Amino acid sequence: MISKQALRKQIKESKRATPVATLAQWSQQAVHFLEQEICWQRAKKVLLYYSMNDEVDTRKLVERAYQAGKIIYLPVMNDDILVLRPFTGKQHMKCATKYKILEPTGKIVPPTHYQNIDLVIVPGVAFTCEGERLGRGKGYYDKLLPLISAPKIGICWESQIVDQLPTEPHDIPLDGIISSKGTIKSIK
């Protein structure tokens, strides 16, 4: 089986080789399929991510969902862990990390409130159809996801789907996977 490091490199090279316009189109398709899911439509409080350039673009989704009345939480770097802050509009975002990720500037959500979240949308480097996820290797989501009992959905481009991943006991399987080609693993 390919190592995590080799797989990360392979996926990174695949993204670089894909035209930006194609990645943008795939992002729109993946987001469209997510918005068709009943669990998305019913969710009132959603943990999303404000995408980096090499991830499915969720920035417009975050803004649309917020404007539609959903409470959107975004992860924020706090030392070596992720904490959550509510999204309160693009004007309240700032670039505050070494990764140059835009983050909301509001108050940190206490972990005791994490159980009120209805749905979690998770980025990743690679996914399997069974719900396994490979992250960037820093373990940020590995520490955050066990604190939240809500269903967890990975969203990706089709090129990020692989047959198998090297997994470890601390890896949290996802409840659903949505790609640019449609729903691969649906929330029951």
Structural domain boundaries enclosing 166: 4-185
Structural domains of the chain, count: 1
d(CA 70, CA 87): 10
Q: Is the pLDDT of residue 185 over 70?
A: no
Nearest to 179 by CA among 118, 120, 129: 129
| Residue 171: predicted pLDDT | 85
Q: What is the mean pLDDT of the chain?
A: 91
Supply the CATH number for residue 178's domain: 3.40.50.10420
Sheet of strand 81-86: strand arrangement = 81-86, 71-78, 45-47, 119-122, 152-155, 176-179, 182-185
Contact 161, 129 (CB under 8 A): yes
Query: Strand, coil or helix: what is 184?
Result: strand
pLDDT of residue 49: 95
- The CA angle 100-167-17, to the nearest 5 degrees, is 50
pTM beyond 0.85: yes
Element (H, E) at 119: strand 119-122
Taking the C-alpha atoms of residue 21 and residue 27, their distance in angstroms, rounded to an integer, is: 10
Token look-up 């198998």 returns: 164
User: With pLDDT > 90 as the criterion, what percentage of the chain qualifies?
Assistant: 73
pLDDT band at 188 (very low <50, low <70, confident <90, very high): low
Write out 54-121 in H/E/C secondary structure.
CCCCCHHHHHHHHHCCCEEEEEEEECCEEEEEECCCHHHEEECCCCCCEEECCCCECHHHHHHCCEEE
CA distance 122 to 143: 13
Least confident of 1-5, 68-72, 142-146, 157-161: 1-5
How many other CB atoms are there within 10 angstroms of residue 44's CB atom?
11
Q: What is the pLDDT of residues 83-126, one digit of tens each?
A: 999 999 887 888 766 667 788 988 999 999 999 999 999 999 99
Q: Which of 71, 188, 177 is nearest to 133 (CA)?
A: 177
pLDDT tens for 121-170 read 999 999 999 999 999 888 889 999 999 999 999 999 999 999 999 888 88
Q: What pLDDT, on the 0 to 100 scale, is given for residue 96?
A: 66
